[in-house]
């Protein structure tokens, strides 16, 4: 039984060591790939990604019909009615 625990411990330690070396290699590779990157470039890329995401979201909404002219017209009529005072809230007292 002691030999099984010894070999299992050695195997686990070996696997852990190799995983640690692999992680260190990946971190080194990442650091080498972003070596020449400046913060201004990162900020510009972040802004560009945000713009592209918003454009894609708008396009998807148009494709799905969420941004249809019919819906926009209904919202416009509702806003005009609300602005002209055609829609008054109830003046009756509700509750106690």
Q: What is the CA radius of gyration of the chain?
A: 31
Stretch among 19-33, 40-54, 56-70, 77-91 having the lowest mean pLDDT: 77-91
Among the ranges 22-26, 37-41, 47-51, 53-57, which has the highest mean pLDDT value? 22-26
Enumerate the domain spans of the chain: 1-36, 39-86
Calpha distance 55→33 (Å, rounded) = 29
Confidence at residue 59, expressed as pLDDT on a 0 to 100 scale: 86
Confidence at residue 58, expressed as pLDDT on a 0 to 100 scale: 86
SS3 content of the chain, % helix, strand, coil (to 5): 75, 0, 25
Confidence at residue 87, expressed as pLDDT on a 0 to 100 scale: 56
Calpha distance 77→73 (Å, rounded) = 6
pTM value?
A: 0.41
pLDDT value at 20 more than 90: yes
The 10s digit of each residue's pLDDT in 58-94 is 888 878 776 566 667 777 888 888 878 755 555 566 5
């Amino acid at each position: 039984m002691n030999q099984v625990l010894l070999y299992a411990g050695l195997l686990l330690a070996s696997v852990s060591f190799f995983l640690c070396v692999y992680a260190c290699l990946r971190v080194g590779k990442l650091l080498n790939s972003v070596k020449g990157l400046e913060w201004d470039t990162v900020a510009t890329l972040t802004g560009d990604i945000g713009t592209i995401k918003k454009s894609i979201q708008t396009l998807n909404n148009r494709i799905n019909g969420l941004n249809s002219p019919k819906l926009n017209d209904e919202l416009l009529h509702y806003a005009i009615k609300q602005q002209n005072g055609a829609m008054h809230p109830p003046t009756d007292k509700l509750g106690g």
